[in-house]
Chain A
């Protein structure tokens, strides 16, 4: 019985011990990441005999942590961790699915890792940054769930939006709250200080967005800014040069700094003549930079002539007649006048413009007439038959050269001018009449008898029926008796009488009102003389 009993003991013991041999000493499965260390032969890879689990063993495998600790960097070098056993935080033999690295991500003091999380970083999840894509070291990158491999440089996680055109230290300009706008950026530290309106300008207005290397890009460096025209379009087309600030300030483009230094002659409207002495505000009613029409004088000046020079529905420019020396002067020449409907000739050349064009208080250039009477008074109106100057056209007798030079063809009248008459002024005959109005000569009703003009020196000796016809003895050619033949008288001259002076026979007779020479005798008796 005893033998059988012990045999049974031995059998059962062997059976169990055989199973025991297979069994691990391990108190539990290792976590997945340590699964390759399962098995009795591997115990001492982590465990130090007589000393539990030593940090040295851990760090002999986890070299990347060892390096960080040696460098005194990272969470494992922080005061909270340094010098403590790895096993305080990291354990194992708790099953395959045991998380060797586990901590309260929300409560983790990231300062201890050497990088304080502030602003937007504090809102991020761990894996937003701690991901393979951000890890440069190829060895660390392969590790799952690692928190290593990052550094404090922004570009470790963030893409360089500026594509190496700016400092790699993003924190120079950006804070941790928002990437845009760059909270730490002080534009005054840039090459171009912002003043005036530039302070209100959106960044994008100067720093344009584009695509560079297939990515969105906004240029912040590498473009000129010394001249305003580097950004601004020069509305003056470089007429005033590149020194915009001589006139403009950053406070307002439209408010000029002052006019003293402004050379208006560089504009499209140089100031000359009277323009140079008028005040700026005379033309620039509002802002100096408000575009001002200046192509035509009428853009500033009222139409003094009230539309008289309208042509084809637009008013002709003052400059055709005036200069900026003043409206009192004109450059409208006689030649130009002669191109018009009333060429100036003769005396018209000598008269001032106002004689015709300013008959009233106002200048008048239109519809002032083309014929003489439009300007000149027809003084012959009632004293000259219209048939001698049809249409009251003075030019029938007068010329523009001289009013006095009359070209009237007197032969058209019943009294042809011949002889010495031709040498007489009109007035000589026509002014002898009684004047209807003072200063006016009547050309109508002028008597045609000689005695109406000439005085009868012969005291009526030659009257025939009360009328003396001088032409019987005299001609208009010559007052002398050119046609008188004494031999045809009752007393022909012969003998000595031929050589006797006329006056020896024809003596002066005292008479009233005045004496006269006697040519008519009652008879021709000798004793009359002898």
Chain B
């Protein structure tokens, strides 16, 4: 990840955080009040769902989500757009918009989840949560630079050169070298037991592996930078091991995830449209 991109990502996160902080400081007093008391709160007129602020949050939140979904879907589905930027970056922007949108919607609801539109809201929550899960699954699947999923073989090829790098780049004693090679190899081969248990055990085993490597490297003829680099190599190797281990499972899981993520988004959208229609019919047109 380039530095500019990292700044860009941080800026997006900062925007979300700032919006959250700003809305909270503006409305925390109101949102903390029980529903039955809110009418009497001085900020009611502004922060109620149909208020100048609350309604605006709903409109902007919805628009952000619509845009966030649409641009990502179009980028993914429309062939002519398939070369427009990296899909990964679109995904990041999709995540940004669809994090900020629900955040605004959350405050639009003023934490009052009732009626028909609650379905839309909870669908949105489902989509949001599934997005987080999806994002986790997504990163578990090694991809090409364009974002395409790598096959199992392509992934295996990525890890074959660790021993060479270690032996050529660093002055490791034989014992340490063997320890690293040994510990990184054995994980790749462990494929038995219950799936989640195994993943969990592996995850924690990897931590102890890295700890033991770090321990063996101390007192050797390596400076701190070299130790960090070696450890990074080991981590990468261990991570790859895990990814290889889970690749098939994750690939299947990701397929099923799509089944959940999109329908909830559609439901959310449909009911949101009903909700908007009803409010307009009843005369709630925000500032217009």
A residues with CB within 8 A of B: 5, 8-9, 12-13, 16-17, 19-20, 23-29, 43, 47-52, 91, 94-95, 97-99, 102
**Contacts A9-B263, A16-B123 given; does A24 touch B40 at CB 8 Å:** no
**Complex contact A28–B282 (CB within 8 A):** no
Assess whether A27 is in contact with B117, with CB atoms less than 8 Å apart.
yes
Q: Is the CB of B263 within 8 A of A50?
A: no
How many residues in B have their beta carbons less than 8 Å from beta carbons of A?
Answer: 29
| Interface stretch (choices B157-165, B169-177, B266-274) | B266-274
Q: Could you tell me if B119 and A20 are in contact, using CB atoms closer than 8 angstroms? A: yes
Instruction: Report 7 cross-chain contacts, Cβ distance below 8 Å, ordered by A residue.
Output: A9-B262, A12-B264, A13-B266, A17-B267, A19-B119, A20-B119, A98-B35
Task: Tell me the bound Cα distance from A50 to B282 in angstroms.
Answer: 5
B262 partner residues in chain A, CB cutoff 8 A:
9
Which 4 A-B residue pairings sit nearest by Cβ, starting from the closest?
A52-B283, A23-B116, A95-B36, A98-B36
B270 to chain A, nearest CB (A): 7
Known A8-B259, A43-B282; judge A27-B119 contact (CB<8 A): no
- Determine if B119 and A23 form an interchain contact, defined as CB atoms under 8 angstroms apart: yes
B281 touching A50, Cβ below 8 Å: yes
| In the assembled complex, B46 has its CB within 8 A of some CB on chain A | no
**CB of B284 closer than 8 Å to a CB of A:** yes
Let me know if B87 is at the binding interface, CB within 8 A.
no
B8 at the A/B interface (Cβ < 8 Å)? no
B214 to chain A, nearest CB (A): 45
Known: A23-B118, A49-B283, A52-B284. A28 touches B267 (CB 8 A): no
Chain A residues with CB under 8 A of B40: 102
Chain B's nearest CB lies how many Å from the CB of A52? 4
What's the dominant secondary structure at chain A's contact region?
Answer: loop
- Per-residue CB proximity of B272-288 to A under 8 Å, as 1/0? 00100010011110000
Which chain A positions have C-beta within 8 A of B283? 47-52
Q: Is the CB of A29 within 8 A of B270?
A: no
CA distance A43 to B278 in the complex (A): 11
Q: A8-B259, A25-B116, A52-B284 are in contact. List 6 more A-B contacts (CB 8 A).
A: A23-B115, A27-B115, A47-B282, A49-B283, A95-B36, A99-B36
In the bound complex, residues from chain A placing their C-beta under 8 Å from that of B39 are: 91, 94, 98
Residues of A with C-beta under 8 A to B123: 16
Report the bound CA distance from A228 to B284 in whole Å. Answer: 80
CA distance A94 to B270 in the complex (A): 25
The listed residue (A49, A91, A102) touching B281 by CB distance below 8 A is A49
* A20–B115 alpha-carbon span in the complex (Å): 9
Question: Could you say which of A27, A29, A95 has the most chain B C-beta atoms within 10 Å of its C-beta?
Answer: A27
Are A94 and B49 within 8 A (Cβ)?
no
- Known contacts A16-B119, A27-B112, A49-B281; A94/B38 CB under 8 A: yes
- From 233 to 288 in chain B, residues with beta carbon under 8 angstroms from any chain A beta carbon are 258-259, 262-264, 266-267, 270-271, 274, 278, 281-284
The smallest beta-carbon distance between A245 and chain B, in angstroms, is 69
Closest to B39 in A: A91
Nearest A residue to B262 via CB reads A9
Q: How far is the CA of A447 from the CA of B34 in the complex (A)?
A: 160
Interface hits, B101-124 → A, CB 8 Å: 112, 114-119, 123
Chain A residues near B264 (CB-CB < 8 A):
12
- Report Cα–Cα, A151/B278, bound state, in Å: 43
Contact yes or no, B115 A26, CB < 8 A = yes
User: B36, A97: Cβ atoms under 8 Å?
Assistant: yes
Known: A9-B263, A13-B267, A94-B35. A52 touches B282 (CB 8 A): yes
A49 to B280, CA, bound (A): 9
Q: Are A49 and B282 in contact (CB under 8 A)?
A: yes
Taking the closest CB of chain B, its distance from the CB of A269, in whole angstroms, is 86
Chain B residues, CB < 8 A from A8: 259, 263
Q: Across the two chains, which residue of chain A brings its CB closest to B122?
A: A16
CB proximity of B155 to chain A, nearest CB, Å: 24
- Distance in angstroms from A27 CB to nearest chain B CB is 5
Complex interface: chain A residues within 8 A of B282 (CB): 43, 47, 49-50, 52
Judge whether B115 and A24 touch: CB under 8 Å.
yes
Known: A27-B112, A52-B284. A13 touches B263 (CB 8 A): yes
CB distance from A131 to the nearest CB of B (A): 24
**Residues of B close to A25: CB separation below 8 A:** 115-117, 278
Q: Are B267 and A16 in contact (CB under 8 A)?
A: yes
A381 to chain B, nearest CB (A): 135
Contact of A28 among B114, B259, B270, B284 (CB under 8 A): B114
Instruction: Looking at the assembled complex, report how far the CB atom of B273 sits from the nearest CB atom of chain A, in whole angstroms.
Output: 12
Once bound together, how far apart are the Cα atoms of A28 and B119, in whole Å? 14
* Given A8-B259, A23-B118, A26-B114: A94 and B36 interface contact (C-beta under 8 Å): yes
Distance in Å: Cβ of A23 to nearest Cβ of chain B: 4
- Chain B residue numbers with a CB within 8 Å of A43 are 282
Most chain A CB atoms below 10 A, which of B35, B116, B281: B116
Q: Mark B222-237, 1 if CB is under 8 A from A, else 0.
A: 0000000000000000
Please state if B115 and A95 are interface contacts (CB–CB under 8 Å). no
Say how far B122's CB is from chain A's closest CB, in angstroms. 9
Output the nearest chain B residue to A24 by Cβ-Cβ distance.
B115
Q: Which of B35, B118, B266 contacts A95 (CB 8 A)?
A: B35
